[in-house]
Amino acid sequence: MQDHALKKKPNQPAGLRRGAEARFRQQRGKPGPGPGVPKSEADARRLLHELQVHQIELEMQNEELQQARDRMETLLEKYTDLYDFAPVGYFSLDEEGRILEVNLTGAAMLGLERSLLIDRSLDRFVDPSSQPIFRVFLRKTFEGHGKQACEAALLNEDGEPIWAGLQAVPSASLSDPRKWCRVAVSDITTRKRAAEAELRLEALAITNQELKREILRRQAVEEALKSSEEQQTTLLEQSRHLQEQLRHLTHRILRVQEEERRKISRELHDDIAQTLVGINVHLETLSREVMLDPMTLRKKITRTQRLVEKSVNIVQRFARELRPTLLDDLGLIATLHSFMKEFTKQTGVRVHFTTIADVEKLSGARITAVYRVVQSALTNVARHAEASRVLVSIRKMADVVCLEIRDDGKSFNVARFLRRVKNKHLGLIGMRERVEMVGGKFSVESAPGEGTTIRAEIPFSDQTARRKAPPEKPSKVNN
């Protein structure tokens, strides 16, 4: 029975037995009982040997258990340090959200001792704005949807807000049938504040851009206002200058009208009145000398007829200068032909005339403007240019009639001439005014050795019809 009790148990490790026997031999320093020892004595020695070996086994097991316990305490201490002093808060929660366990980091986040947090609901420390998110997060965790994560605002014991990132996994324990989960809580307040700061910076950058645009816009408006003020000042000065020019021009026109009236009156008195007086004297002489011979009577009647013809020619000349009847009866081209022939006859200056048939389609005011420009230009040539040849051309370009009058006479300073307020020569100014009155453009060029060129662009009355019409070949007339 004793031998059986001292025999090695089946669950004892063989290495432990061998180690105990080796240690026993080292302690005793001699072998076990020999074959000459009586059986009873040998049994006693073997029993003693077994007891001693067993005692050594127990001592070795105790040493191993002590070492294991020391290792476990070391690991537990390390685990406790890792758990309590981890950079994130660890919470163990049940289905109601009550705190079962919490590490020191989690307790520090909430501003309470760990013992005061046990069995308290974590929902109490969640900001009201984040409670719906937290409840959904907890419900999905216990429903077994796997690892869950969310962000929520927590309030510590002092009511200070903390932004936290929560991650949870469901857990179970054999010793506790309740459902629970582990929640890792990270303080992301700094990251949130950095994100908010970044958003504020972006908003500030956008605001700065808007401010820059507003500054640029206001600077542009300010520059526009300054430019507008300068333009208004310039326009006001130009207006005053034009008013002064208009006043002098009006005075000049009135003086010219008076001079023309005086000229017409003088010519009527000197030519027509004297001619009519002569006719009256001749008729009175004829009435008194009724007994004259037919030959003498015929001569006096012939002289009287010549006086009447002279009066008619003077009246026709006045009428032609005021308004040629050919312009209304035969049109612009025939009137210009007649005027240029008379001009060449009186001045000896040759005129080369080129025109188009479409010019007759201009309205009455435009036809009059073309005629008056040609008339004034040739009059200026006769008075001032000392030219020998003049080229007059009328051509069609796009939807306008282009009139060009070029002479080979003397040149003059156009700009200085037009700037003169008290200009006694109203020809150029009158031509420009006539062209601009019908919506046209007027220009003058004059250079030494090249003579003077006058250009006028007068629009057709029906621009669309003119734009579609094919160009016509010009007809040429040399005078």
Higher pLDDT, 1 or 148: 148
Helix (H, G, I), strand (E, B) or coil at 424: coil
**pLDDT category, 1, cuts 50, 70, 90?**
very low
Amino acid 343 reads: F
pLDDT exceeds cutoff 70 at 425: no
pLDDT exceeds cutoff 50 at 79: yes
Q: Which of 62-71, 117-126, 258-267, 445-454 has the lowest mean pLDDT?
A: 258-267
Span 341-359, mean pLDDT? 90
**Which ranges constitute the DSSP H helices of 124-188?**
131-142
- Strand duo 389-397 + 350-355: pairing: parallel
427 near 388, Cβ under 8 Å? no
**pLDDT category, 393, cuts 50, 70, 90?**
very high
Residue that is written with structure tokens 């409670």 in the block: 131
**pLDDT category, 214, cuts 50, 70, 90?**
very high
**pLDDT category, 289, cuts 50, 70, 90?**
low
pLDDT exceeds cutoff 90 at 395: yes
pLDDT attached to residue 417? 66
pLDDT attached to residue 258? 66
pLDDT exceeds cutoff 60 at 479: no
Alpha carbon distance 22, 37 (integer Å) = 23
pLDDT attached to residue 449? 82
pLDDT attached to residue 166? 92
Amino acid 411 reads: S
Span 267-293, mean pLDDT? 66
pLDDT attached to residue 27? 63
Span 323-337, mean pLDDT? 79
pLDDT attached to residue 226? 87
Task: Give 460: exposed, middle or buried? Use CB within 10 Å, 0-12, 13-18, 19+.
Answer: buried
Percent of the chain surpassing pLDDT 70: 72
DSSP string, 170-209: EE--SS--S-EEEEEEEE-HHHHHHHHHHHHHHHHHHHHH
Quick one: tokens of 24? 């026993």
pLDDT attached to residue 304? 74
276 near 311, Cβ under 8 Å? yes
pLDDT attached to residue 267? 67
Phi, psi torsion values for 445, nearest 5 degrees: -130, 135
Higher pLDDT, 462 or 464: 462
pLDDT exceeds cutoff 50 at 462: no
Using a cut of 0.85, tell me whether the model's pTM lies above it: no
Span 429-438, mean pLDDT? 84
Q: What is the pLDDT of residues 294-322, one digit of tens each?
A: 777 677 777 777 777 777 777 666 665 66
pLDDT exceeds cutoff 70 at 401: yes
**pLDDT category, 279, cuts 50, 70, 90?**
confident
Q: What is the mean pLDDT of the chain?
A: 79
Task: Give 57: exposed, middle or buried? Use CB within 10 Å, 0-12, 13-18, 19+.
Answer: buried
* Beta bridge mates, 163: 153
pLDDT attached to residue 422? 47
- Strand duo 475-478 + 180-187: pairing: unpaired
**pLDDT category, 53, cuts 50, 70, 90?**
confident
CA within 13 Å, CB half, 96: 7
